[in-house]
Amino acid sequence: MPETSPPDLLTLYPALAALPSLVARLTPMTVPPGTRLFRENDPCQGFPLVLAGEVRVSRAAPNGRELELYRVAPGEMCLVSSAGLFAQQPLTARGVATSDTTLCLLPPADFQTALADPDFRQFVLGLFAARMADLTGLIEAIAFQRLDSRLAAALLGHGPTLKTTHQALADELGTVREIVTRLLHRFERDGLVELSRESIAIRDSAGLRAIAAGPTA
């Protein structure tokens, strides 16, 4: 894959336009899917600027369960990395490339320098607030929605067939595979879905939407 040029970087992250000396030092790198870019308790190596692909950010419990926090697409910001740089503390989550991913890494010292620029500072703080809103929604979903409602919602919006595994759904919902499998088999018995290997066919989207909406008062 050819390297991404700095103009592409400035298209995605225009707040860096006033910092040409920092941009000139950035070197894009491309990693394959499954590459771990950072992990819990590591020192933050820099501020990732995603040019192509996607980074999945999640937290893992000692028992192996994993909860997806968010995903970083091109032009977006990693909340965990920026928080680590702000506080100069170890990272609190892990980041893994979900596909061929091209990114640049703004070193910690350059990140602090860039924060002195009003446009870059406003960009970081604006995306920081947006990511916090996403996490607040995730916390609310975990705390207040039933798991069957959240699973039904996760199955919708992908067309008539969803290519995924029970483990991937469990990771997305922050639970264990056995519970997801039990609920999927219940959905299948009720005629809502049809299960096959790494594939879920939606048979009654209206029924799933009713479950996703939760019990009515």
What structural domains and CATH numbers belong to the chain? 6-142 (2.60.120.10), 145-213 (1.10.10.10)
Q: In this structure, are strands 55-60 and 47-52 parallel, antiparallel, or unpaired?
A: unpaired
Give mean pLDDT, residues 54-67: 80
User: How many residues belong to the chain?
Assistant: 217
Distances (CA, A) of 72 to 13, 131, 138, 169, 200: 13, 10, 16, 19, 26
Q: Pick the closest to residue 15 from 130, 117, 120, 122 (CA basis).
A: 120
Distance of CA 38 to the CA centre of its chain: 13
What is the model's pLDDT at position 3?
A: 43
Give mean pLDDT, residues 19-48: 94
Most confident of 58-72, 88-102, 136-150: 88-102
Residue 217 predicted with pLDDT over 60: no
pLDDT band at 62 (very low <50, low <70, confident <90, very high): low
Q: How many CB atoms lie within 10 A of CB 98?
A: 14
What is the model's pLDDT at position 141?
A: 65
Higher pLDDT, 60 or 111: 111
| Cα–Cα distance, 188 to 165 (Å, whole number) | 15
**What is the residue-averaged pLDDT of the chain?**
87
Q: Which two tokens stand for residue 58?
A: 């999640």
Return the C-alpha torsion angle 197, 59, 54, 72, nearest 10: 140
0.85 surpassed by pTM: no
CA dihedral over 68, 85, 15, 36, signed as positive or negative: negative
